């Protein structure tokens, strides 16, 4: 082999090697992008049940609702249930409940959604169930009914998931489950997804919760991103009602978006802050007037006191806060502002969020308002002197404990670090007392963006 030929071959090999090295990062990035954005076929339904989710439409002590999805090939479906047993022969004692089936036309085609409500269950009992069409069944899942009396329990609360759900929100719901593996249910304060009618995003939300959704009941309320624009109006996503089986005991026209249920002595109220606020105000006032439960927790999407910079919901606050104050609602769980903030027992009584409103205090109601975010979309923080703890640029989940006369609240970061905590205690008369338990964890605030230095006249002329 001549020297020149060897040099040509060496040069070719050297160039090929560098081409491979230079190409490898782009190949890896492309593979990563494909993994985060699977093809449409990844989200297509099959005859095998998926998107299985537990909710309640009636009494949590004696009923349990379940909803799931299949391809349109499945026209008749059912759910089977039995008291959970250590032995494997669950089919022998299972009772079959015929499901209601409805089609849903999506941007990926038509799917069938099925729902069933197990009734006549025993309070405080562990059950096993599965869903399917008689040939294709899901795995067996387990859940426990609520007790008929006011027993201690814990639950999880999430602010907006909304964006990058599969890649960046999934870790939060899974960390929350690690922190509270025996949680009674999960509350989602709206904006579960970003684009109301995009089936892929709904698939991401269900995929992030995966089997947890099938074992821990969910209580979701709609946010503004569950509202789809149709002409000049915004209406609830076509996905909402087929995906969840929720109570229909709210005002007419707001079925499964405004509702109430009672879990072991705690009244949970879900409100739809997107529409018909006046009708809900009348319903809420009447409901709370008749309420006999010790604790009342409300959840809705748009905050009474916004924590996102330059945001406010004064019209909503004018309609709903007087009712919340009047009935001394204990805890209000919200989302929307992609930051974290919570009040003490004092909140502004004026209509504005800041200015004169921040100086006038209402010390008589005992209500704590919380705004939180669990997904990766972040806003700049609006600071409030009446909020003892706030955060920005932070994904969080919250665990709430109810035990007799005490309600404990804990906010954790996505990495499981305790970020905020307090305990409410019921008093014989008057508002709750509040014990602050804020940890030593420094407040998480994003550094301000540095202003560009002023340019010299000589620089401008260059």
SS3 state at 52: strand
Angle between helix 170-179 and helix 199-209 axes, rounded to 10 deg: 30
Q: Could you tell me the pTM of the whole model? A: 0.88
DSSP string, 231-256: TTEEEE-TTHHHH------SSTT-TT
Distance CA 430, CA 364 (A): 8
Give the residue from 220, 247, 262, 264 showing the smallest Cα distance to 124: 264
Task: Give me the phi and psi of 324, to 5 degrees please.
Answer: -60, -40
pLDDT of residue 246: 98
**What is the DSSP-derived secondary structure letter of residue 160?**
B
CATH number of 153-436: 3.60.21.10
Q: Where are the domains of the chain?
A: 45-144, 153-436
pLDDT of residue 349: 64
First to last CA, the chain: 58
pLDDT of residue 233: 87
Cβ atoms of residues 400 and 418 within 8 Å: no
Instruction: List pLDDT tens digits, range 194-236.
Output: 999 999 999 999 999 999 999 999 999 999 999 998 888 899 9
Spelled out in words, what is the top-level CATH class assigned to the domain 45-144?
Answer: mainly beta
**Could you tell me what percentage of the chain is helix, strand and coil, using 3-state DSSP and rounding each to the nearest 5?**
25, 30, 45
pLDDT of residue 85: 96
Cβ atoms of residues 231 and 241 within 8 Å: no
pLDDT of residue 244: 98
| Contacts of residue 20, Cβ cutoff 8 Å, sequence gap at least 6 | none
Instruction: List pLDDT tens digits, range 422-442.
Output: 999 999 888 999 999 999 999
Beta bridge partners of 425: 406, 433
**What is the DSSP-derived secondary structure letter of residue 109?**
E
Cβ atoms of residues 349 and 359 within 8 Å: no
> Same fold for the domain at 45-144 and the one at 153-436?
no
What residues in the chain have per-residue pLDDT under 70?
A: 1-36, 349-364, 448-462
pLDDT of residue 387: 96
């Amino acid at each position: 082999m001549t020297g020149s030929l060897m040099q040509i071959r060496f040069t070719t090999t050297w160039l090929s090697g560098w081409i491979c090295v230079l190409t490898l990062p782009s190949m890896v990035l492309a593979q990563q992008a494909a993994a985060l954005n699977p093809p449409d076929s990844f989200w297509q339904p099959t005859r095998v049940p998926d998107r299985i989710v537990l909710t309640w439409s009636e009494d949590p002590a004696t009923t349990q609702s379940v909803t799931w999805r299949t391809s349109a090939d499945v026209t008749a479906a059912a759910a089977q249930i039995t008291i959970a047993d250590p032995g494997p022969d669950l089919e022998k004692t299972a009772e079959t409940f015929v499901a209601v089936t409805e089609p849903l036309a999506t941007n990926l085609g038509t799917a069938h959604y099925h729902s069933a409500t197990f009734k006549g269950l025993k309070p405080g009992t562990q059950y096993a169930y599965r869903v399917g069409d008689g040939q294709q069944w899901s795995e067996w899942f387990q859940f426990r009914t609520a007790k008929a009396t006011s027993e201690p329990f814990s639950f999880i609360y999430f602010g907006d998931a909304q964006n990058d759900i599969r890649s960046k929100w999934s870790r939060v719901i899974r960390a929350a489950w690690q922190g509270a593996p025996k949680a009674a249910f999960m509350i989602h304060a709206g904006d579960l997804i970003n684009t109301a009618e995009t089936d892929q995003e709904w698939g991401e939300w269900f995929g992030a919760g995966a089997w947890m959704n099938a074992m821990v009941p969910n209580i979701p309320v709609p946010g503004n991103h569950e509202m789809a624009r149709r002409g000049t109006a915004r209406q609830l996503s076509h996905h909402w009602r087929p995906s969840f089986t929720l109570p229909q005991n709210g005002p007419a026209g707001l079925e499964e978006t405004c509702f109430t249920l009672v879990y072991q002595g705690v009244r949970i109220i879900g409100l739809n802050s997107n529409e018909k606020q006046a009708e809900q105000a009348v319903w809420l006032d009447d409901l709370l007037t008749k309420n006999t439960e010790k604790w009342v927790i409300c959840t809705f999407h748009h905050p009474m006191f916004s924590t996102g910079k330059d945001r406010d919901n004064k019209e909503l606050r004018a309609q709903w806060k007087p009712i919340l104050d009047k009935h001394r609602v204990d805890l209000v769980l919200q989302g929307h502002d992609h930051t974290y903030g919570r009040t003490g027992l004092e909140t502004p009584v004026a209509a504005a969020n800041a200015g004169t409103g921040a100086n006038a205090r209402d010390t008589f109601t005992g209500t704590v308002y919380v705004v939180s975010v669990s997904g990766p979309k972040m806003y700049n923080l609006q600071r409030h002197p009446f909020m003892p703890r706030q955060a920005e640029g932070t994904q969080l989940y919250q665990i709430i404990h109810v035990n007799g006369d005490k309600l404990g609240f804990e906010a954790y970061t996505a990495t499981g670090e305790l970020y905020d905590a307090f305990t409410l205690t019921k008093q014989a008369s008057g508002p709750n007392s509040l014990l602050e338990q804020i940890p030593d964890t420094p407040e998480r605030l994003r550094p301000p963006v540095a202003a560009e230095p002023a340019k010299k006249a000589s620089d401008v002329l260059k």
